Amino acid sequence: MQTSNVVVGRNWTQVAADTDQELLVTWESIVELEVATTSSNTAPTVVGHRLSRVDAVSRGVFPSGFVWVKLVSSGPQSDVVLVVSK
Nearest to 52 by CA among 79, 86, 27: 27
Please tell me the distance from the alpha carbon of residue 34 to that of residue 64, in angstroms, as a whole number. 17
Tens-digit pLDDT string for the chain (86 aa): 899 999 999 999 999 999 999 999 999 988 999 999 999 999 999 999 999 989 989 999 999 999 999 999 776 678 999 999 99
Nearest to 4 by CA among 45, 63, 20: 20
Please tell me the distance from the alpha carbon of residue 7 to that of residue 63, in angstroms, as a whole number. 23
**Total-model pTM:** 0.93
Please tell me the distance from the alpha carbon of residue 76 to that of residue 52, in angstroms, as a whole number. 13
Q: What is the pLDDT of residues 39-54, one digit of tens each?
A: 999 999 999 999 998 9
